[in-house]
Structure 1
Amino acid sequence: MFTSAVTTGRVLLALPVLLFVLNACDRSETVRSPALTERTPVTESAQAISAFLERHWVRPLPAQGKAPEQFSALEASLMPSDCGSCHTEQYRDWQTSLHAQAMGPGLMGQLLAMAPTARDEHQDCLRCHAPLAEQANDLLAELAAAEHASADAAPSPATPSLHQQGLVCAACHVRAHQRSGPPRRDGTAPDAVESAALPHAGFVATDAFEDSRFCSACHQFQPDEYALNGKLLENTYDEWKVSRHAREGRSCQSCHMPERRHLWRGIHDPEMVRAAVTFSVEGGEWTNNVIRAALSVRNTGAGHYLPTYVTPRLVAEIEQLDGDGRSLPGTRIEHLIQRLVPLDLGSETSDTRLAPDGELRLVYERPVHRAAVALAYRLRVEPDEFYARFYRALLADGAAEKGRELIALALKQAESSSFLAFEERRVLPQR
């Protein structure tokens, strides 16, 4: 999620995350009540799903309150590691995801510059990155402690606090200590008798967890929220809604949570990008000492714009190489695929993103370099290009303040996230 807080005089950014859902309890798949003889499939109307989502994502989320007396400390816990004591596969997946890093050094470095008591201002970021009320309370305590630390000190508790763990299991699954999730894989849910025998009194099953609108709670701005050139800054759900992927019944979860996995791979993952893009090359011939070629990049797999947000960029490029595979000066052309905005978010410089099924065709016509023996066609991905620019600016103008060390770490991470998604080399014909 990407937030802007005008009152601070600077843009506040946080890592983009894909907000989806955790799976239902594994043990609910196996624990049986002796009285249960037949499972009844869950059936819900569209109206019931909409009502659930409206209740579930009211912002800010209310505190959980007191846990039921019969709950053990483990059942009452909101810590992901405690959820993982039963939901081992889900927890293992979550640990590798960007959801678990949603309160990373880039965001924490900015929050350290805010007033410790600015709860409403914190919510610009926490509403998606750490949405539980209990996480907001943890953050207030940490920021208050940082007020008394040296200018370069960053809090480092032995065990990460709940807010430091980002988008945790409970953020999607727990309200007032009641667990909820999708129906079991066979489409059923535990009845009252079975629930009484399950940990944390079972769970409420609802198809809302398999509905793309669940994800829109963080991946879609509302019509009256921040927009540039008439386009909302965060518009992923609406992009999907008008795509053939929506018409064909493919939800956000079907791509980002296949088989109910808790990985939420996206633009940072090379395999996800390769699955979304059809990359093809043409030519490599020359006449009159001019090489003619072309590169095609098509968004065939993503059910939204590629990239969907302002933070990444893709770079399509063609260049000539010498016999050792080195780039030859003056032979490279490139095309940027991104929604380019300045750091102040005051305008939109350009928007060259690929809509679902959209295509870029990069045409190459350049004189043949005397040392050229091959052409290289590439697609580079820079998932955090905007963040890298932003963090450099914060460090250069001294705006990082107490979060300087964290911002420096965030910059290092942003710069190291780039990768080469595609590369093809074609040997040029003999002259």
Structure 2
Amino acid sequence: MTPTEYRWLLPSAMAGAELPGDRARSRRTVRDWAVDIAAFLCAAFAGMLTVAAIDADPTTPDAVVFVDSVAGAAACCALWLRRRWPVGLAAALTAVCVVEPVAAGALMVALFSLAVHRPFKPVAIVGAAALIVTPLQPSLRPDPGTSLMASTVIGLLLVLLALSWGMAVRSRRQLVVSLRERARRAEAEAELRAEGAQRLAREAIAREMHDVLAHRLTLLSVHAGALEFRPDAPAAEVARAAGVIRDSAHEALQDLREIIGVLRGPGDSGEGERPQPTLATLGDLIAESRLAGMRVVVDNRVAAPGDAPAATGRTVYRIAQEGLTNARKHAPGAEVTVLVTGGPGRGLGIEVRNPAPTEPFERVPGSGQGLIGLTERATLAGGELDHGPTDGGGFALRARLPWPPA
């Protein structure tokens, strides 16, 4: 489901929708039995009052009283079908009540049940029919103690009361279902947001780990390879290479500890944290690469590197770090040129360029994720980054980042 389609379910949208209790269940619950028995007893009580009033009239034949009693009992018993066929039952009782006032109580229960379990259209049709035929019953069988107008008005009010009460109950059920659906969707949306945030955090940590550790680990690989292929090297060179390996491993562990520290809770200790690299510390990165045996030419034309924004300087540092790492992996022995230009209001540019390798070498495997991460990092910083091979078979990495005016 797309975010555009992910809308709240409003009660008005559910006006014609089927509610959980609209379909008759194969097995009644305890609540269903209690409601059905109460409805039956109410209809039976109203029917008995009507039979008593008819029997009290001395002009009414005993046969009519008997037929009315049987019809009223049948109407009350038919209420057990109101969950399965509410429309048909209400329509049938509407027709019966034209000649049988004893079934009026059962009709009220049937109309109430119809309004609760069915949408507006069938309720309106059956309800209109009940309102139309309401004046017919007192006309065919008038009550000696009540006028035709009073009987008609009372009948119309009872029909409207049953229908409106049932529709109010249905509206409340729609509201409850809507609120439950909203809560369910809100929980689902919260889970999606949490998963998205976790995914973004994992991606950010993965990019940071690649940017930081790839540089250190390639140093380890280069010097370990030199020791492997030159076992007869002078002791001084072996000691120097071992020292670089030791220092690179130590720095890698420090960087890893710094990145993992992002995952710590607010109350965790911050021991081992180090300042983030900036443009001012770019020289340390170059010196470290030269110590590892790389030939690096630096042209830093930024007058005050320390004044560069921290986030922009850190991005430039990571781009230079990735460029040196790639040059060390894919063009060992080649001279690498690092050019940094810009200033406040003019933006900050960096270019890392290396020619084609001049001697055979063992390729270090790479996934290409570093350049993808750098592109995303530069885009998030408001700049742009491009990379690709040069005419002579080398490789160039260029980036342009914003530097607001002072």
Coarse TM-score class (shorter-chain normalised): under 0.3
State TM-score, norm by structure 2: 0.21
Choose between structure 1 and 2: higher strand proportion.
Answer: 1
Choose between structure 1 and 2: higher helix proportion.
Answer: 2
Q: Considering Cα pairs closer than 8 Å and 6+ residues apart, tell me whether 1 or 2 has the greater RCO.
A: 1
